[in-house]
């Protein structure tokens, strides 16, 4: 089964996502003080995620909010990645 996740940035987009019966609403770059009003518009059957500029120090601000997932891009923003590849050959 395909799950539909929609990223929203304001009340109008939240209402559109709810009307479209999506599976998950990602509230992106929304100030903590604005989240309660938006979360009240979303049925509890819809998974909710917040993201955008959230740091480890910010997590206590989100502790009383009824969100299912908090995304922290800060965990990987300063990581230097190592490009590794593998060639797999199958011999019959």
**How many helices and strands (H and E) does the chain possess?**
3, 4
Give the pTM: 0.78
pLDDT digits (tens, 9 = 90+) for 14-35: 999 999 999 999 999 999 999 9
Strand order across the 69-70 sheet: 5-8, 24-28, 47-51, 69-70
Class of CATH domain 5-75? alpha beta
pLDDT digits (tens, 9 = 90+) for 72-89: 865 655 667 777 887 778
Place of tokens 């059957």: 45
């Amino acid at each position: 089964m395909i799950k539909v996740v929609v990223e929203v940035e304001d009340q109008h987009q939240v209402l559109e996502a709810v009307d479209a019966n999506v599976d998950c609403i990602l509230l992106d770059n929304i100030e903590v003080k604005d989240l309660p009003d938006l979360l009240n518009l979303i049925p509890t059957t819809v998974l909710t995620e917040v993201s955008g500029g959230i740091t480890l120090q910010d997590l206590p601000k989100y502790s009383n909010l009824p969100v299912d997932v908090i995304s922290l891009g800060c965990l990987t923003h300063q990581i230097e990645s190592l490009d590794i590849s593998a060639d797999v050959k199958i011999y019959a």
